[in-house]
A and B are shown apart, each in its own frame.
Chain A
Amino acid sequence: MSAYGAVISARFRMHLQYRAAALAGLGTQLFWGLIRIFIFAAFFRSSDSPQPMTYPQVVTYIWLSQALMRLIPWYAGDPDVRAAIRTGSVAYELLRPVDLYWTWFVRIIGATLAETALRAIPMFIVAGLFLGLQAPPSWPSAGAWALAMIGVVLLGGAMVTLLSITMMWTISGEGVTYIAPTLAIVFSGMIVPLPFFPDWAQPVLNALPFRGLIDIPFRLYMGHLSSREALPMFAQQMAWTIALVALGRLLLARGTRRLVVQGG
C-alpha cells in the first residue's frame, strides 16, 4: 500500500514542479469556464420558459466540471501504461508476482487523484469566492456528493484502465481510444448538463455509465438530485464499475496471451 502512496506523492511532486503548467492550467480553465457561463447566461436571457436547471445551478455545475475535469477519461488511457505496452516493457510487469490489472488500476487512480487535487483546490477557492460556485444546499447533499465522488474515482479509474488495455490491440485499440473519450465527454454531461437534453433522450442517458462521472455527482452536490438518491446512484456507478473492471480483466488476459504468443 505504501508503494502506491509513493506513486501518488511522486506524481504530485512532479506536477508541483510544473508551476507554469499549473498556473496556465488554472488560467485557461477559468477562461473556459467563463466562456461557458457567458453562453448559458445569454441563453437564459433569451427564454422565459422554465428550464431543467436554474441559472445559479448551471454556474455551479460549470465550475464543478472545470475543477474536477481531470477525473474524466479525456484521453486514451494512462500514459505510463500506454508507454509500457508500446515499448513492450509490459512483459517485465507480467513477470512480477502481482496482479497486473489491479496494479494498473491503483496506479491510474493514484495519478488521477493527485492531478485532480492539484487543479481542483485552486479552482474551488477562486470560483467559490469570486465566481459563483455555490456550496451544497444541505449536509445530506454534501454527503451524497462525497459518496458519489468515490464512485467517480472508481468508475473513472475502471474506464481509463480499460482504455489503456485496449491499446494492446493497435488498430482497433486506437479507434476505441479515440471514440470513447468523446462519448465520455458528451454523455457524462461535461459539455451540456444532461437534464438539458431532450426529454426523450433522458432514459437512454440515464442508463449509460458516463453519467456516473459528472451528472450524478454534480447534481447530488446541488441537491438537483435529492440526497435520498445517493445510494441508488452510487449503486449504479458501482454496477458499471464492476462491469468495466470485469471487461478490463478479461481483455487484459486475452491481450497478454496475445502478446506472449506473438512476442510483442
Chain B
Amino acid sequence: MPHIVVRNLVKTFRVAERDPGMWGAVRGLVRRRYRTVRALGGISFSVEAGELVGYIGPNGAGKSTTVKVLSGILVPDSGRCEVLGRVPWRERIPLVRQIGVVFGQRTQLWWDLPVVESFHLLRAIYRVPETEHARTRDELIALLDLAPLLDVPVRQLSLGQRMRCDLAAALLHSPSLLFLDEPTIGLDAVSKLAVRDFVRLLNRERGVTVILTTHDMDDIEALCTRVIVIGEGRLLSDGTLDDLRRRVTTERWLIVDLLDDDEEVSDPQASVISREGSRVCLRFHPEQVPPAALIARITAKHAIRDLFVENPPIEEIIARMYRGAAP
C-alpha cells in the first residue's frame, strides 16, 4: 500500500483585499473585497513506503498547502487523498499519531523548559508506553548527539542544536512517515551535514518515508532520488533529479580557471555566462559540440590552470522551470 496517494487535489483560498490610504480603509469598514487564490490546481502523485522525496517549488507554489492537506490540517475543496490509508482531515487524530512533522522555522519544543522535559510531555501527549519511549529516545539521543543538550532550556540552544532536538522530538513516537519543512534553513554547514546524514540513515536503514520540502538544492542533491516540482499550484515535474535536469535543458557548463586573468575567452559554440577574476563559466550543448572537442579548442588557445565540466546547478534548472511556469 502506498503511503501517500493524491489525486486531483484542489484548494482555493479567499484573501481579503485592502485598498490603500485612508479613504480605502473607511470603505473597507463597510464592504470587503475578496480575491480567490488557487493554491492547488489539481495535483496528483503517490509515494510508496520508504521513499525519500524532495518537494520543491517557489514561494507560494503550494508546497505548504500540500503538506497541510496531507497532515490533516487543511481540508481541500476537491480531490482524493489518502495518507497511510486514511483520509487526513477526516481521521486527523489516528493519522497524526503515525506521522512526524518538523518545521524548520518553528520549534515544537517548550521554550522555557529543558529539552528532556519536552520529550516527557510529548510522550504523554502521544501516549507512548514508557519502556518503548525510553528506548526510542535513547537511540535518538545517541544518533543526534543530544546528551549534552538535554538539560538546557530550549531558548538557550543554537539553531543547529534546536533542529536536532526538533528532529528527535518528531520521531519519539516512531512515525512511519516524516514531513520535513525547510529543516536546514539558517543552519551552519556542519549542522546541515548532520541533519542530512541523519535523514539519510532514517530513510535507508529504518525505512521511514520522508517528504522533504526545501529551497536548499544541496539538500535535494544529497538526499533525494525523486523530486517533485510544484509551481503555481500545478505539478511541473515528478521523477529523478536527472530527469528533471534533462527536461529543462541539456546544456552543460564548462568552468575554466585561467592562468592569465586578463585573457578574453570566446568560442563559436559556447557562450560566456559569467566571469570572476580568472574563473570563466561557459555554457554549451553537448549535442552541438562534444565536450572533448570544446575542451581541446579552449586549451589550445589559452593557458589553463584547471577546468571542469558540470551540469547546471539545480537552482538554475529550477529557476528556468519556474520561469516557464509563470504566465
Q: Which of A's residues lie within 8 Å of B, judged by CB?
A: 9, 12-13, 16-17, 19, 22
Contact = CB atoms under 8 A, between A and B. Distances in A.
Interface in B2-39: 18, 21-22, 25-26, 28-29
A264 to B, nearest CB: 16
Nearest to B26: A16
Contacts of A22: 29
Given A13-B22, A17-B25, 4 more contacts: A9-B22, A13-B25, A16-B29, A22-B29
A88 to B, nearest CB: 16
A16 B21 CA distance: 11
Contacts of A13: 21-22, 25
Nearest to A23: B29
A13 B25 CA distance: 6
B22 A17 contact: no
17 contacts: A9-B22, A12-B22, A12-B25, A13-B21, A13-B22, A13-B25, A16-B25, A16-B26, A16-B28, A16-B29, A17-B18, A17-B25, A17-B28, A17-B29, A19-B28, A19-B29, A22-B29
A151 to B, nearest CB: 29
B318 to A, nearest CB: 36
A79 B26 CA distance: 24
Nearest to A15: B25
Interface of B: 18, 21-22, 25-26, 28-29
| Leading 5 A-B pairs by shortest Cβ distance | A16-B25, A13-B25, A19-B29, A16-B29, A13-B22
A17 B21 CA distance: 11
A125 to B, nearest CB: 15
B16 to A, nearest CB: 9
Contacts of B18: 17
A209 B18 CA distance: 43
A110 B28 CA distance: 23
Question: Which of A9, A12, A17 has the most chain B CB atoms inside 10 A of its CB?
Answer: A17
Contacts of A19: 28-29
Contacts of B22: 9, 12-13
A40 B141 CA distance: 65
Nearest to B18: A17
Contacts of A9: 22
B319 to A, nearest CB: 35
A13 B19 CA distance: 11
Contacts of B21: 13
A186 B258 CA distance: 81
A56 B309 CA distance: 91
A9 B24 CA distance: 13
A48 B77 CA distance: 67
A190 to B, nearest CB: 28
A19 B31 CA distance: 10
B248 to A, nearest CB: 43
Contacts of B28: 16-17, 19
A22 B28 CA distance: 13
A12 B21 CA distance: 11
Question: Which of A9, A16, A22 has the most chain B CB atoms inside 10 A of its CB?
Answer: A16
A264 B202 CA distance: 43
A246 B10 CA distance: 62
Contacts of B29: 16-17, 19, 22
